[in-house]
Amino acid sequence: MDTHSTPKAPVTLLGLGDMGTALARAWLAAGHPLTIWNRTPEKAGPLAREGARTVATAAEAVASATGPVVLCLLDDASVDEALDGTDLNGKDVVNLTTNTPAHARQRAHWAEERGARLLDGGIMAVPPMIGRPETGGYILYSGDHALFARHRAALEAPAGAKFVGEDPGHAALHDIALLSAMTGMFAGITHAFALMGPEKDLDQARFATLLAEWLGAMSGAAHGIAAQLSSDNFTEGVTSSLAMMTAANDTLLATAQDQSVDARLLTPYMELMHQRVAQGHGDEGLAGTVGLLRNE
């Protein structure tokens, strides 16, 4: 038996909200020495009993850090407040706070001005998925690849780590694009349940199973759209044309009206498809609508 296991890198974590607490538990479970700080100190108590070292100020946490300093705070403004007056010189900062690509780039520049290196991250998971690889959660990273490589082992303890580019804004861009797609999916789910709602004899749980299976099957369409965008040929491999879908949309809207359901979650997207068909591109697939949103 190998009794000489490699010591785990120390991690410093600022922010013990729902997500920060889940991250902390994952690092403790993986055997990483963990130093924690939170604005409201009471939240650190349970983690201290589980083995984390607590400190009274963010400045103290950063000063004692010999590994990555991970930020998991509410928003970009809270990062400013938490790090106000701390000496970041020579530190490796990993910012997992959700932000815009522009804020991520500014924050990387801000860190560089203070003598620190920064990786930006976007967490594609909810707290119960952290430390549980089987749930499929992951964290996107962008910025200096050498920095990512140096801390990769520690960063992979809470969830899979995916590096998406040296531009520090790219993790946030991927994060927000994925969350935006999720928002559209939730809009569709909301409309679907509204349609089913008035039928009292329908089984909602059985419908949910059908819905999840159908959305899973249809999500593969993203690959076809990507291929069309890459080749700049929006009719390539089209099996469901915009003309066909626009005609089908009339049936969707008529059914919504019959069921007394407000179709406002669907109509903006349907109008986009209609606009592209009216431009003479009814033979295209969904990739044809992407440029309209970018005003190309």
How is the chain split among helix, strand and coil, in percent rounded to 5? 50, 10, 35
Find the part of the chain contacting ligand FVH (CB under 6 A) among 5-13, 35-43, 46-54, 230-238. Answer: 35-43
For residues 135 and 159, what is the distance between their CA atoms, to the nearest angstrom?
Answer: 9
Longest Cα–Cα distance in the chain: 71
Quote the least distance from Cβ 183 to ligand FVH, whole Å: 13
Find the part of the chain contacting ligand FVH (CB under 6 A) among 2-10, 37-45, 189-197, 215-223. Answer: 37-45
Structure tokens given for 12: 């410093």
Q: Based on CB atoms, which residue is closest to ligand FVH, 47 or 265?
A: 47
Is residue 177 a contact point for ligand FVH (CB under 6 A)? no
Q: Based on CB atoms, which residue is closest to ligand FVH, 172 or 195?
A: 172
For residues 192 and 207, what is the distance between their CA atoms, to the nearest angstrom?
Answer: 9
Query: H helices of the chain, where?
Result: 18-29, 45-49, 58-63, 76-83, 101-113, 145-155, 170-196, 204-218, 221-231, 242-258, 267-278, 287-293
Quote the least distance from Cβ 94 to ligand FVH, whole Å: 13
Is residue 73 a contact point for ligand FVH (CB under 6 A)? yes
Q: CA 172, 175, 179, 181 torsion: positive or negative?
A: positive
Quote the least distance from Cβ 18 to ligand FVH, whole Å: 4
Find the part of the chain contacting ligand FVH (CB under 6 A) among 36-44, 208-216, 240-248, 251-259. Answer: 36-44
Quote the least distance from Cβ 83 to ligand FVH, whole Å: 9
Is residue 106 a contact point for ligand FVH (CB under 6 A)? no
Is residue 84 a contact point for ligand FVH (CB under 6 A)? no
- Cα of 22 vs its chain's centroid, Å: 16
Quote the least distance from Cβ 111 to ligand FVH, whole Å: 17
Report whether 21 contacts 47 (CB < 8 A): yes
- Total of residues contacting ligand FVH (CB under 6 A): 22
Q: Based on CB atoms, which residue is closest to ligand FVH, 15 or 282?
A: 15
Using CB atoms, what's the residue nearest to ligand FVH? 17
Nearest CA among 140, 208, 149, 189 for reference residue 168 = 140
Report whether 89 contacts 115 (CB < 8 A): yes
The residue within the footprint of ligand FVH, chosen from 30, 59, 63, 74 (CB under 6 A), is 74
Report whether 125 contacts 139 (CB < 8 A): yes
Is residue 273 a contact point for ligand FVH (CB under 6 A)? no
108 has which bridge partners?
none
Quote the least distance from Cβ 267 to ligand FVH, whole Å: 29
Q: Based on CB atoms, which residue is closest to ligand FVH, 135 or 255?
A: 135
Report whether 275 contacts 292 (CB < 8 A): yes
Residues that bind ligand FVH (CB under 6 A): 15-20, 38-40, 43, 72-75, 78, 81-82, 97-98, 123, 126-127
